[in-house]
């Protein structure tokens, strides 16, 4: 059943998600696009774009939107999509919620010991790799245009990608602004 599969998948994503929203994006992408092939890379990219422009934690937004699209793509009715969206959003927070309750209950004051520090240090390193892989996987002909067919789109895409990359990294412009500007560029050039 789609509900059970979604619930299980998003529970798993929640409990292994260390290191913030982008790590969540990487995990959801792997499960939803690669592992289960519920969404195409292009659909997922659109979901990430929308999730960054709407309020709330990006991880929750991506989970909600993916849950909906997965069910609707599988041919279910609109209300099943909405139910799946809510299910995915709650599944993703369920296990961390339980874990946080247990820790808050039994350890009144959080103190990092050497083992915790060492685990977190290593997790930070692999999460960088995880996010890098997610970015690489999303460089597809669907997202950038095809070399032989749409040469023009490919060039525009490469320029947008590099410009946004530098603007975000060096000039720290907000993702929302960059997405809006890229949308305008798209509307003008295509």
Partner 1 sequence: MKIPYFQLFWSFFKIGTFTIGGGYAMIPLMEKELVDRRGWLAKTDFLDILSLSQALPGVFAVNMATNIGYRLRGFRGAVVSVMGNIAVPILIILLLATGFRYWKENIWVERCFKGIRPAVVALIAAPVFKLSKTAQISWKNAWIPVVSALLIYMWGVSPVWIIVVAIVCGYIYGCLQDRKEVEE
Q: According to CB under 8 A, which residues from 29 to 58 bind partner 1?
A: 30-31, 34-35, 42, 45-46, 48-58
Say which DSSP state 71 is in.
H
**Shortest spacing between CB 55 and partner 1, in angstroms:** 5
Please pick, from the candidates 6, 38, 39, 59, the single residue that binds partner 1 as defined by CB under 8 A.
59
Over the window 108 to 147, marking each residue x when it contacts partner 1 by CB under 8 A and - when it does not, the resulting string is -xx-xxxxxxxxxxxxxxxxxxxxxxxxxxxx--xxxx--
**Is residue 149 at the binding interface for partner 1, with CB under 8 A as the rule?**
no
Mask for 73-102, x = binds partner 1 (CB under 8 A):
-----x--xx--xx--x--xx-xxx-xxx-
Task: Please report whether residue 64 would count as binding partner 1 according to CB under 8 A.
Answer: yes
Q: Closer to partner 1 at the Cβ: 4 or 105?
A: 105
Integer-rounded Cα radius of gyration of the chain: 19
C-alpha to C-alpha distance for 107 and 166, rounded to whole angstroms: 43
Could you tell me the smallest distance in angstroms from the CB atom of residue 89 to partner 1? Answer: 6
Q: Minimal distance in Å, beta carbon 135 to partner 1?
A: 4
**Main-chain dihedrals φ then ψ at residue 56, nearest 5 degrees:** 105, 170
Give kind and range of the element (H or E) at residue 159. Answer: helix 151-169
* Total residues belonging to the chain: 190
Smallest separation (angstroms) from partner 1 to the CB of 38:
14
Sign of CA dihedral 4, 104, 63, 78: positive
Output DSSP code: residue 41: H
Measured CA angle at 142 (ends 27, 9), to 5 deg? 25
If you ran DSSP here, which 8-state letter would residue 56 be given? Answer: S
Number of chain residues interacting with partner 1 (CB under 8 A): 116
Footprint on residues 6-25 left by partner 1 (CB under 8 A): 12, 14-22, 24-25
């Amino acid at each position: 059943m789609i509900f059970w599969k979604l619930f299980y998948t998003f529970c798993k994503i929640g409990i292994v998600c260390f290191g913030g929203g982008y790590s969540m994006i990487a995990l959801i992408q792997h499960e939803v696009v690669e592992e289960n092939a519920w969404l195409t890379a292009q659909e997922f990219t659109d979901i990430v774009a929308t999730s960054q422009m709407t309020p709330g934690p990006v991880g929750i937004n991506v989970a909600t939107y993916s849950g909906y699209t997965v069910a609707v793509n599988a041919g279910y009715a609109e209300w099943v999509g909405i139910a799946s969206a809510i299910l995915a959003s709650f599944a993703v927070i369920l296990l961390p919620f339980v874990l946080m309750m247990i820790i808050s209950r039994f350890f009144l004051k959080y103190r990092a010991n050497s083992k915790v520090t060492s685990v977190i240090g290593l997790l930070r390193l692999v999460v960088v790799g995880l996010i890098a892989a997610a970015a690489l996987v999303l460089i597809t002909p669907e997202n950038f245009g095809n070399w032989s067919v749409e040469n023009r789109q490919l060039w525009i895409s490469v320029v947008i990608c590099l410009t946004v990359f530098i603007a975000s990294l060096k000039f720290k412009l907000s993702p929302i602004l960059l997405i809006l500007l890229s949308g305008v560029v798209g509307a003008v050039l295509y």
